[in-house]
A and B are shown apart, each in its own frame.
Chain A
């Protein structure tokens, strides 16, 4: 599903540069649910962003679903992001003047889907996250957990191969966090490959595999026994 080989990335800071990723090797199979952990500055978000084509690596190989991702133009990256990837952010990143339904339909708009079709599909995904009644509300009228559920519905709308989550529970309280995790686990059960960055141990333990990063290299890569989130809800 996803192979990464000797990935390097550094950021310029003033005159010098900060070497954030120092040769990452990683392989993820279809259907996995992986947590990337590490203290801040370990490079975990950078890795996720490169995987999400939101950022570009300096060197190394990145193959997604058999396709080498290299020297992308913005236009091509846009197509790949739309087709392969779904994003869930810590701060939800919903467009504030669009309703829940319109937010979910947006990736479909960029796919060129007809309005009626995409609204129907968006509604289907909203129902899936249990927010059908809230479809015509603006993000500001929703709670944090609801917003994240809208974001999940949006990430799923284009039926991506890979779901990327950057601290999906970072802005939520424990109870809501568990609700969201239960959702994500459920998606994984259905076969979706999921990659998430988190620094919370209990959230990481709800995944099937934990990768620990430190100073830009992988320290530890272990399979874990998944803790089901439902039991806390």
Chain B
């Protein structure tokens, strides 16, 4: 297979016809370069988008309580609605099939201290499911669990930055942290993909907070995620059912918008999905378009090259070259040029993205880049296209009677 003389012929042909080789190489390199850069930028946009919306689970419903604005069932307007444990359990049981994770929340602000370090932080008292709703990443130890809830244990899970603030260089796990005068054992340290505020949070069991901060069974807010099998419409109607049932339960007028407020992420997630989808479509169109342009370019050049070499082909045939000799010399030359040029284009493209990437973040383009396999695939596509585009005219030329080829001036 490996024929040194054939390769010598090909390298000579490439080397001695530099303009031609460079021109065809340039087309390929440019196509791959454009492909890499456009694809990279589109990917960067997608990354930004994902980051902006990807922190929390998207199939989430927040339920908040407020004050009634309308009189209903003999009760006056201005009544304060307060969720309790029984309401939490009601939702959990009533909608068991549709609810994936559910948690209550109580918010408090505390002054936390460990030895001489002091700072004030927000406390979220939650159920164990909260971990999955907030996509909290437990770095050390564990999260709040069912035992803590039952025993009303005085344990906390602290944010990475809380540990950094209060424990400086030592580890917080297993130590006791003082929250507004009461010591709690640190059972876990967490991080979060959200902003720094999320990592300056302290989580404790909701039952513990209920006992410590008022000895009641109040809940400030209920968060839940619905079964991801629900489609958009089902998710919306689930939200509506929830609203209606809760309003009935608290004897709130159906048109009262303030007493019970439900925020359903499904309403926004439809837009997010649409946006991601159209971005993907744009990316595909760009990629496909550049590739097609590249293929057309190579095809043109191959036809031109074969035309230009018709006379040479005639001479070679008169001297005893078989059609196979002719096809292989033209084809291998074109594949070689396409492969090298494609690789150069790829290197430049990736290099440009690497260099320009960081400064593009202001334009909502984050980590622009293309997977190697993708660009490799694109290059291979171009090589195959170039080979096919070259094969047809080369085959044709190899079939021309040498006398016709020789007459070509």
Contacts and interface: CB of A to CB of B under 8 A. Distances in A.
Contacts of B403: 49, 54-55
A219 B55 CA distance: 97
B320 A82 contact: yes
Q: For the complex, would chain B's binding face be called helix, strand, loop or mixed by DSSP majority?
A: helix
Nearest to B323: A74
Given A75-B324, A97-B17, A98-B12, A55 B401 contact: yes
B319 interface: yes
Interface string B305-321: 00000011011111111
B13 A97 contact: yes
Given A87-B318, A97-B12, A78 B323 contact: yes
Q: Which of B8, B13, B402, B409 has the most CB of A within 10 A?
A: B402
Given A55-B401, A95-B312, A98-B12, A81 B406 contact: no
A52 B409 CA distance: 20
Nearest to A158: B320
A56 interface: yes
A87 B324 CA distance: 21
B93 interface: no
Contact of A106 (B4, B316, B322, B324): B316
A68 interface: no
Contacts of A78: 317, 320-323, 325
B406 A89 contact: yes
A158 B402 CA distance: 18
A122 B290 CA distance: 48
A56 B401 contact: yes
Q: For the complex, would chain A's binding face be called helix, strand, loop or mixed by DSSP majority?
A: helix
A54 B401 contact: yes
Contacts of A115: 4-5, 8
A106 B13 contact: no
Contacts, number: 71
Contacts of A89: 406
Nearest to A52: B318
A158 B315 CA distance: 15
Contacts of A79: 320, 322
Interface in A75-118: 75, 78-79, 81-83, 87, 89, 91, 93-95, 97-98, 102, 106-107, 109-111, 115
B251 to A, nearest CB: 96
Given A97-B12, A106-B316, A75 B402 contact: no
A98 B317 CA distance: 16
Contacts of B324: 75
B403 to A, nearest CB: 4
A28 to B, nearest CB: 20
A154 interface: yes
B5 A93 contact: no
Nearest to A49: B403
B225 interface: no
B80 interface: no
A152 to B, nearest CB: 13
B323 A111 contact: no
B65 interface: no
Contact of A93 (B4, B12, B318, B398): B318
Contacts of A55: 401, 403
Contacts of A74: 317, 322-323, 398-399
Nearest to A74: B323
A93 B319 CA distance: 11
B249 interface: no
B16 interface: yes
Contacts of B317: 74, 78, 81
A82 B322 CA distance: 10
A110 B325 contact: yes
A50 B315 CA distance: 16
Contacts of B401: 54-56
Contacts of A98: 12, 16
Nearest to A110: B320
Contacts of B12: 97-98, 102
A144 B293 CA distance: 45
A188 B300 CA distance: 48
A59 B314 CA distance: 24
A81 B318 contact: yes
A115 B321 CA distance: 16
B44 to A, nearest CB: 45
A190 B406 CA distance: 29
A102 B315 CA distance: 13
A207 B324 CA distance: 38
Top 8 nearest A-B pairs (CB, nearest first) are A82-B320, A97-B16, A110-B320, A54-B403, A78-B322, A107-B319, A54-B402, A55-B403
Interface of A: 49, 52, 54-56, 74-75, 78-79, 81-83, 87, 89, 91, 93-95, 97-98, 102, 106-107, 109-111, 115, 154, 158
Interface of B: 4-5, 8-9, 12-13, 16-17, 311-312, 314-325, 398-399, 401-403, 406, 409
Given A74-B398, A110-B316, 9 more contacts: A74-B317, A78-B325, A81-B319, A93-B318, A93-B406, A95-B312, A106-B316, A109-B5, A110-B325
